[in-house]
Structure 1
């Protein structure tokens, strides 16, 4: 396999804080690699070093000379004054520059420029590339070309950045949390795109379905070093568990041996022989192994929730619109204790607005909302982090409460509670400004849970959280006794936690489905298939032919129709070839160019319909 990237002995620290040390790994052409590590271990920094935006303290990064790179950061750097169209096509790629000029001419209906550009598009074979670009922009809903970047939301900027990287079609893609701010449909499209692309990939993501279906190599960084696994996420989990068991067994063995060697060290007055010196050196090596933690630090959430009464939350005939945009249309639902509901739907259909309505932060246009007297909301918002940069985690927690009641008589201090959330002493007294995005998210989640809620509302809780934290959060939510509502595009997270789905299908329609996301998706796909079959009148699979049954044959009219279809398709293909030759000749006037292009598009649509009908008839004939 051809090596595209070699990383040797990389180390990086910020002041006294060591991010990583002696990181070494390689990536071959066409490999799709995921980088996994806990928050705060420098994943994003490592990606920036590999791309060349930052320099390491030690080590080297070597790419093959002719490899082109594309890099998506968690917060892409875009020119705030550019329009979306300008930013997406802001590149040195010759073909992309040509496509940009062509699309602008089409938009302006400038026939004189089109007359110049069409032959150039032919020469560079840019038509297929242009079609791919339009598909990428369409799938990522990057369509507000006339807006300036500074007018976009954070999620819109992330999608523009992703589109910009993908349409540049680099040999080597480096993606930092590409699924953040993508809805489920976009995520599944990107999953399919990256699975099929020939580009080599290095990616950081917490989306475990994405990891499982796209990546063929996992590189993990933890407190014990760096480990590579040639396989997908499921394979990684299996082999990682084996590695941890083997390491723990070696630590146990070292501890047993250490007792013997300690006794020898106490009896040995002083090393005078070479053999004794060797044994003393070996003693310290054994002691180093035996002193390792036998188990990794785990985040355990078990926080007492306040009592929840019989009446919880009741909505009757609730409606909410913004102008012509309907968010909720005649929505009625009565919540019961222990429900775990996942809210899904495309971006912009009103999921976050719904959460603000049920917490009475936004009033509905009509309908009634009744909240039980015992309900205590814990509301984790997408944009809820409001910590000051010079705050410290320990002070933030103490300002809420000096002690945390875990139930069953268990009390924990603010410092101990932070330890549970993987904030060691040094990190507790660090400034918020020095925390990673994931550490800030974890601190924010901690403050929400400290209120001892019995009705948890989590709006995109998985963004920027590492996989280790997500696993434990899932276990906590599964055992949570109160009500739970989650808005998340993380399919694995939703599948594992929820037992009911509110599917926001647009135009105020909310479908109540008993089950998790995958079950809902399978049901939708089954319904869609039946609908398409009904529309096209596709016959059901033929029953086995019995001896006396006659096989269905084409009628006289169907034979005539089939012959006419063959004649029509032949004529249409001839007309299409003639028009294409005329376009390439350079002799057409501006108006003729536009008309010919439009006619070719019409012919393609007509051919598709006729070919489909011909195939249906040919199946009967066969």
Structure 2
């Protein structure tokens, strides 16, 4: 095995906090390695050190033979002055550089440059690169290649950075939470892509299905030490538990032996021989080993929810849309106690609008929403809260309540509650700016649950939370005494919590599916496979005589070719604008005037798109 990267006894401190100390590991060629550690343990800092962006306080990182490293950061830094395609092609790779020059020459209609660059494209085999770059962007639902980077949303920027890293084909690929801002279809595509690629991979992710299917080795940082597991996530869970049990058994054995040695120490005379001195030294070593205690700083979520009455939340014939865009059509549902609902559907089908409607953030066009008298909603939003950087952790909780009283009569001070959420007293007086992304998410979750909700709405709750915290959150939600509605791209999380799904099919249709996400996905795949088989049977059953005769090919004129190419670009841009309009109309953040304006534009856009698609179909007959 060829070692690509070696970390030797590296340590890093952030202010007074020790992130990791004296850790060592090696990444070999063709390995696909995942890094697992608790929030605040320095996972992102370690990734920065490996990428050469940061340096360790002690120790060193050695990269073999100047291998090329590609790094997807949690918050990627992009050039806002470039277009989407230019940013995707930005690279030291000669082929990608020539493609970028060729695209610029085409945009400026520079025929002389086009001719010379065409030769270079053929020499470097860059045509395949060009196609692949656009395919990757399309898979990540970025279709307007000429859109300026500065106009992209946070999620689009992360996906564009991911596309750039993938098409550059680095020797060592570093991915920090790659599934954040990806929908379920994109995650499944990325899984397949990484399984097929030959690159060496080192990543941080909380998505356990993704981790299980992509990685063949896991490195865990635990109690300032590293542990290596040669297998996927399922193997890691088994072997980690065995390791902890062995450590506990070893400590217990040392304690039993220590009792015997303590008795000997008490009975030994003061004038001891050399052998006694040796045994005394062993006694102190044994005492150190026996005193070792495993510090399992697990999140404690055992607060009782508020009591729910018989009536919880009733939706009667709800409809909501914007102009020609239908998001919810005549939907009725009565929530029951203890039920856990997952929400799935493509972007723009109305998931966010639905959450805004049931929480009364926006009004439906028709129908009624009836909350029970006892309902207390806790809404964990994907965007979270914007904490002030100079605000202290303890003050954020105290601003809500100095003392928290739960339904079962349990009372806690703000400090006690924060300790349960893994913010020890020394951290509680730190400024928020010192917290990691996962720690901020945990603090946000604390501010939601401390309000004693009995109807929880969780919009992408798993982003940036570590796997240990997710396991505790899952157990809490499974035993939660109220209702839970979840929107999440984390399939493992959904499967473990929900007992049925609201499936948003588009055009206002919402289906109630009895089962979790994996059951739903398997059924969809079976239905698609069945349709393919039926179509194949129909095609094979047709007599040869009934098959339509092939028409003599019609050739496009030069002008029609140019029109055909322009139509493809126009359709892609219009579809992207349509998708952005749908997201804006779904957001519930528009003013009435903005709603009217964007609804009108949506109607005009739909007509224009239909017209261009019809013309494209006509010309495609000649292609």
What TM-score, normalized by structure 2, do the two folds share?
A: 0.84
Aligned counterpart, 1:514: 514
Alpha-carbon separation, structure 2, partners of 1:352 and 1:274? 76
Alpha-carbon separation, structure 1, partners of 2:252 and 2:405? 35
Shift, 1:391, TM fit: 2.2
Alpha-carbon separation, structure 2, partners of 1:191 and 1:412? 44
1:451-484 deviations in Å (ceiling 9; x for gaps): 1111000110000000000001000100112111
- SS at 2:240 equivalent: helix
Alpha-carbon separation, structure 1, partners of 2:109 and 2:502? 44
Compared with structure 1, are the counterparts of its residues 518 and 105 closer, same or farther at alpha carbon in structure 2 (3 Å cutoff)?
A: farther
Compared with structure 1, are the counterparts of its residues 416 and 280 closer, same or farther at alpha carbon in structure 2 (3 Å cutoff)?
A: farther
Alpha-carbon separation, structure 1, partners of 2:269 and 2:444? 56
Aligned counterpart, 2:456: 456
Alpha-carbon separation, structure 1, partners of 2:449 and 2:62? 45
Aligned counterpart, 1:478: 478
Alpha-carbon separation, structure 2, partners of 1:97 and 1:271? 81
Shift, 1:595, TM fit: 12
Larger mean Cα displacement after TM superposition, 267-276 or 346-355? 267-276
Contact 1:183 1:345 (8 Å CA) reproduced:
no
Shift, 1:23, TM fit: 1.1
- SS at 2:147 equivalent: coil
Compared with structure 1, are the counterparts of its residues 99 and 58 closer, same or farther at alpha carbon in structure 2 (3 Å cutoff)?
A: same
Aligned counterpart, 1:332: 332
Q: How does 1:215-254 map to 2 (within 5 A)?
A: 215-223=215-223, 225-254=225-254
Alpha-carbon separation, structure 1, partners of 2:564 and 2:148? 34
- SS at 1:537 equivalent: helix
Alpha-carbon separation, structure 2, partners of 1:314 and 1:475? 27
Compared with structure 1, are the counterparts of its residues 282 and 80 closer, same or farther at alpha carbon in structure 2 (3 Å cutoff)?
A: farther
Aligned counterpart, 1:414: 414
- SS at 1:341 equivalent: strand
Shift, 1:271, TM fit: 7.7
**Is 1:79 equivalent to 2:103 in the alignment?**
no
Alpha-carbon separation, structure 2, partners of 1:436 and 1:473? 19
Aligned counterpart, 1:315: 315
Alpha-carbon separation, structure 1, partners of 2:64 and 2:350? 46
Aligned counterpart, 2:142: 142
Q: How does 1:341-352 map to 2 (within 5 A)?
A: 341-352=341-352
Contact 2:407 2:452 (8 Å CA) reproduced:
no
1:9-40 deviations in Å (ceiling 9; x for gaps): 11000122100011111111110000000000
Contact 1:271 1:277 (8 Å CA) reproduced:
no
Contact 1:111 1:594 (8 Å CA) reproduced:
no
- SS at 1:65 equivalent: helix
Shift, 1:361, TM fit: 1.1
Shift, 1:354, TM fit: 1.7
Alpha-carbon separation, structure 2, partners of 1:346 and 1:34? 28
Task: Work out which of the two has the higher radius of gyration on C-alpha atoms and give 1 or 2.
Answer: 1
Contact 2:404 2:450 (8 Å CA) reproduced:
yes
1:180-209 deviations in Å (ceiling 9; x for gaps): 010000000001101111000000000000
Compared with structure 1, are the counterparts of its residues 537 and 111 closer, same or farther at alpha carbon in structure 2 (3 Å cutoff)?
A: farther
Alpha-carbon separation, structure 1, partners of 2:422 and 2:367? 44
Shift, 1:67, TM fit: 1.3
Aligned counterpart, 2:596: none
Alpha-carbon separation, structure 2, partners of 1:99 and 1:80? 20
- SS at 2:65 equivalent: coil
Compared with structure 1, are the counterparts of its residues 335 and 271 closer, same or farther at alpha carbon in structure 2 (3 Å cutoff)?
A: farther
Compared with structure 1, are the counterparts of its residues 263 and 405 closer, same or farther at alpha carbon in structure 2 (3 Å cutoff)?
A: farther
- SS at 2:27 equivalent: strand
Alpha-carbon separation, structure 1, partners of 2:190 and 2:263? 61
**Is 1:434 equivalent to 2:431 in the alignment?**
no
**Is 1:277 equivalent to 2:283 in the alignment?**
no
1:396-453 deviations in Å (ceiling 9; x for gaps): 2233233334554433333222222122222222221111110110111011001111
Compared with structure 1, are the counterparts of its residues 233 and 538 closer, same or farther at alpha carbon in structure 2 (3 Å cutoff)?
A: farther
Which consecutive unaligned segments of at least 5 residues does structure 2 have?
Answer: 567-616
Alpha-carbon separation, structure 2, partners of 1:427 and 1:102? 54
Aligned counterpart, 1:386: 386
**Is 1:202 equivalent to 2:202 in the alignment?**
yes
Compared with structure 1, are the counterparts of its residues 85 and 322 closer, same or farther at alpha carbon in structure 2 (3 Å cutoff)?
A: farther
Shift, 1:382, TM fit: 1.2
Contact 2:306 2:407 (8 Å CA) reproduced:
no
- SS at 1:236 equivalent: helix
Aligned counterpart, 2:30: 30
Aligned counterpart, 1:6: 6
1:84-127 deviations in Å (ceiling 9; x for gaps): 22222222221012222334455666665444333322221122
Alpha-carbon separation, structure 2, partners of 1:343 and 1:63? 44
**Is 1:466 equivalent to 2:466 in the alignment?**
yes
1:525-577 deviations in Å (ceiling 9; x for gaps): 1122222333343589xxxxxxxxxxx9x98869xx89x99xx9xx99xxxxx
Contact 1:251 1:292 (8 Å CA) reproduced:
yes
Q: How does 1:51-70 map to 2 (within 5 A)?
A: 51-70=51-70
Larger mean Cα displacement after TM superposition, 91-100 or 312-321? 312-321
Shift, 1:294, TM fit: 4.2
Aligned counterpart, 2:582: none
- SS at 2:399 equivalent: helix
Alpha-carbon separation, structure 2, partners of 1:182 and 1:270? 71
Contact 1:457 1:485 (8 Å CA) reproduced:
yes
Shift, 1:323, TM fit: 4.7
Larger mean Cα displacement after TM superposition, 339-348 or 457-466? 339-348
Shift, 1:491, TM fit: 0.2
Alpha-carbon separation, structure 1, partners of 2:22 and 2:538? 61
1:293-340 deviations in Å (ceiling 9; x for gaps): 246232231112111122221222322234544332332222122110
Alpha-carbon separation, structure 2, partners of 1:381 and 1:512? 23
Larger mean Cα displacement after TM superposition, 521-530 or 433-442? 521-530
Contact 1:327 1:507 (8 Å CA) reproduced:
yes
Shift, 1:223, TM fit: 0.8
Alpha-carbon separation, structure 2, partners of 1:123 and 1:34? 38
